[in-house]
Amino acid sequence: MRRACTMTLPTANFLETATWPVIWMDHAGAVRRMNQIAQRLFGERVARQHGQIAAIWASENPLTPVQWITRCAREGGATLPVRLLAQQPQPLLFLAAGGEILEGSQRLVLIQLYPGGDEPRPGTAESAPAQKQKLDFALQLTRTVALDFNNALAGIMGHTSHLLSQADPRHPWRPALLEVEKAATRAAEIAAQLAAFGSESKESRPRSAANLNNLVRRVVEWLKQMRPPSLQWLLQLEPRLYGATYEEAKMQQAIAKLLENAVEAVDEGGQIVVRTRNLDLTSPLQDRTVQLKPGAYVCLEVADNGGGIEPADLPRVFEPFFTTKTGHRGIGLALVYGIITNHHGGIAISSTPGQGTSVRVYLPAVKRVFEEIPAQPDFSGTNFTILVVDDEELVLTMAQMVLRAAGYRVLTASSAERALELLSQADAVVDLLITDLVMPGMNGRELIERARALSPRTRVLCSTGCPPGQLAGLGIQVLSKPFTSQELLRKAQSLLAR
């Protein structure tokens, strides 16, 4: 016999809009709530008999309602046939999957009803509609778990990266913080895989051809603000650089990781050289492990005069979590490698101990020169007000801490309704709205529409763990959860500069 199991389901309301009936009830058979489709099927009958599951119980069932509920709670995960009375004169056959759940301090039984068709005989397979409904449930549950997981990770990664940016390199807690960040990064990768599995859209974010120099300048300017002024930067950027097709957020992340690795490799007063150039190949070219076919490419090179890498370690630098330094994060180049190869490019690295390291990124190019965007001034400081909206307290606390530390005035709201109250105040001047997409009650999409009507000048940033394909057509900038404090600040500054 299976042992009874109590689950704490995600608080997100994904089951409210499921395409199959869902009923929440207590152990005595009192219906606490039903989702939309269950209300359409059973709502009137249940309401007429004071909210009891007995109101829709068919006499053909071998068990009483309470016996059936007890069995569903005890055998969580089992699929049990049940006949219920809906609007039709004849009872409908369902395959019920249920289990005991914990909502706050209450123990309820959650029942999900899938079309039963003909009642399955022992040893026969479930009907195709039932299998489809169960798969839909698995996908929706996976998406919801990924979203809730990302909310928790956003708080962990944000706080950790903020502490690392402020802590002295010799602080005794720094190695432990780096391990926390490493573990959270791995957890974020798992959450991304869950979200991808649960996503109905497998498409990546839009990619368009642009001038890579713009991203390089943006990241360098940001690092100049965060790193010691004694560090020397030398930019040698091709003035008529070919265009490259890339996903901006990912490529910016890759460039930032490359430059951060270079910064960590040099001593105070060291030098970092950043170069871009065009390559027109009429014959194949091999650079270390990278093999380039004939064609046009954009090359980005980051070179430092740090301590270099030992020859025995050089072949392993792209391995996840491989590190040659005490307290080093050891994941940067693995992430860069993944991003570049996903853009059909290549990355090569050469190094001489005691003389420095050079990393070269090759991206397929469009033989067209795209306009460079002039560097923007610093838009952080007390002149700007940011409203952060999220139903997760962890995310609100982290975002408030990071943005206030950068000099912004920060307002927070745990719901879209509260955010609209703040925006509606006569003296409200909000320069940037950062909102989650999935929230109880009014969701982020509705909030964005109403916020634009109330305050057209307010810029909007959506922080979400939703798969990119679900955000197409919104016309807004996206900050993917989980994010670091640096990623949050980069996005905020970029939007305020527009």
Domain for residue 137, yes or no? Answer: no
> How do the residues of the chain divide into helix, strand and coil, expressed in percent and rounded to 5?
40, 25, 35
| For range 201-221, the mean pLDDT | 72
Residue 218 sits in a domain of what CATH number?
Answer: 3.30.565.10
> Is residue 37 classed exposed, middle or buried when 0-12, 13-18 and 19+ CB atoms within 10 A define those classes?
middle
How many whole angstroms separate alpha carbon 262 and alpha carbon 349? 12
- How many residues would you count in the chain? 498
Q: Which two tokens stand for residue 494?
A: 């970029």
User: Is pLDDT above 50 for 203?
Assistant: no
Q: Tens of pLDDT along 263-302?
A: 888 877 788 999 999 999 999 988 988 889 999 999 999 9
> What token pair was written down for 133?
């409904």
Domain that holds residue 192: 147-200+378-496
- Is 59 within a domain? yes
Instruction: Give, rounded to a whole angstrom, the gap between the first and last alpha carbons of the chain.
Output: 63
Q: Which of 194, 143, 201, 140 is nearest to 17 (CA)?
A: 140
Assess whether the previous peptide bond of 65 is cis (omega < 30° from 0): no
Task: Using alpha carbons, select from 414, 407, 454 the residue that is nearest to residue 430.
Answer: 454
User: Is residue 194 domain-shared with residue 93, that is, in the same domain?
Assistant: no
Q: What is the pLDDT of residue 132?
A: 46
- Looking at the domain assignment, is residue 162 inside a domain? yes
Alpha carbon distances (Å) from 259 to 218, 256, 312, 336: 12, 5, 23, 11
Percent of the chain with pLDDT over 70: 75
61 within 8 A of 68, measured Cβ to Cβ: yes
What residues does 434 pair with on adjacent strands?
A: 388, 461
Phi, psi of 252 (to 5 degrees): -60, -40
Asked whether residue 304 is assigned to any structural domain, the reply reads: yes
Closest CA to 15 of 134, 86, 112, 104: 112
Residue 142 lies in a domain: no
Tell me the average pLDDT across 48-61. Answer: 87
Same domain, 230 and 338: yes
Same-domain pairing of 99 and 155: no
The pLDDT assigned to 1 comes to 36
Q: Which of 155-159, 237-241, 374-378 tops mean pLDDT?
A: 237-241
Exposed/middle/buried for 326, CB within 10 Å: 0-12, 13-18, 19+? exposed
Same domain, 345 and 438: no
Exposed / middle / buried, residue 452 (Cβ in 10 Å: 0-12, 13-18, 19+): middle
CA dihedral 204, 206, 207, 211 (to 10 degrees): -140
Q: Are residues 93 and 114 in the same domain?
A: yes
Q: Which one, of 320, 286, 213, 254, lies nearest residue 487 by Cα?
A: 254
**pLDDT 10s digits, 387-434:** 999 987 777 877 888 888 788 889 999 899 999 988 888 677 889 999
Give the tokens for residue 113: 């009803």
Q: What is the pLDDT of residues 426-478, one digit of tens each?
A: 677 889 999 988 788 888 888 988 988 888 888 999 887 765 555 555 667 88
The CA distance from 470 to 478, in Å, is 11
Enumerate the β-bridge partners of residue 276.
Answer: 237, 300
Question: Can you tell me the mean pLDDT for 3-21?
Answer: 53
Q: Which residues contact 331 (CB under 8 A, 6 or more apart)?
A: 182, 185, 320, 321
Same domain, 115 and 20: yes
Say which amino acid occupies 34. M
Same domain membership, residue 241 and residue 224: yes
Average pLDDT for 131-153: 59
Cα–Cα dist 109/125, whole Å: 26
Model confidence over 117-140: pLDDT tens digits? 544 444 444 444 444 454 455 555
Residue 261 falls within a domain, yes or no?
yes
238 and 302 belong to one structural domain: yes
Q: Which two tokens stand for residue 114?
A: 């899938």
State residue 131's pLDDT score: 45
- Of 92, 126, 160, the residue at which a domain comes to its end is 126
Q: What is the pLDDT of residues 324-335, one digit of tens each?
A: 655 444 455 777
Dihedral pair phi/psi, residue 230, rounded to 5°? -75, -15
Alpha helices, H only, 367-443:
393-405, 416-424
Task: Kindly report the average pLDDT of the chain as a whole number.
Answer: 77
Neighbours of 281 (CB within 10 A): 13
pLDDT above 80 (res 380): no
Q: How many other CB atoms are found less than 10 A from the CB of residue 234?
A: 10
Q: Are residues 230 and 360 in the same domain?
A: yes
DSSP H or E run through 153: helix 128-166
* Tokens 């099927």 belong to residue: 41
pLDDT value of position 14: 57
Q: What is the pLDDT of residue 324?
A: 62
Alpha helices in 280-371 (DSSP H): 332-342
Domain CATH code at residue 159:
3.40.50.2300
What 3-state DSSP class applies to 462?
A: strand
Regarding whether 449 and 348 lie in a shared domain, the answer is no
The region of weakest confidence among 175-179, 288-292, 477-481 is 175-179
Query: Domain holding 75: CATH number?
Result: 3.30.450.20
The contacts of residue 383 (CB under 8 Å, 6+ apart) are none
Least reliable range by pLDDT among 36-40, 82-86, 308-312, 373-377: 373-377
Please report, as a single letter, which amino acid is at residue 286.
Q
One domain for residues 362 and 226:
yes
Number of compact structural domains in the chain? 3
Range from 121-135, 150-164, 218-232 carrying the lowest mean pLDDT: 121-135
Find the range with the poorest average confidence among 119-123, 354-358, 380-384, 474-478: 119-123
Do 101 and 160 lie in one domain? The reply is: no
Beta bridge partners of 385: 409
Give the residue among 498, 487, 493, 469 at the shortest CA–CA distance from 250: 487
Q: What angle do CA 207, 213, 218 make, to 5 degrees?
A: 90
User: Across the strands, what pairs with 461?
Assistant: 434, 477
Q: φ, ψ for residue 328 (rounded to 5)?
A: -75, 150
What is the model's pLDDT at position 493? Answer: 86
Instruction: Answer with the one of 327, 347, 369 that is the final residue of a domain.
Output: 369
Domain-embedded: residue 182: yes
Helices 128-166, 485-496: crossing angle, 10 deg rounding: 90
pLDDT at res. 373: 60
Backbone angles phi, psi at 135, to 5 degrees: -65, -40
pLDDT at 108 over 50: yes
Least confident of 54-58, 70-74, 215-219, 381-385: 381-385
pLDDT for position 118: 47
- Domain presence at residue 207: no
Looking only at the bridges linking them, the beta strands covering 290-292 and 285-287 are antiparallel
Domain boundary among 335, 369, 403: 369
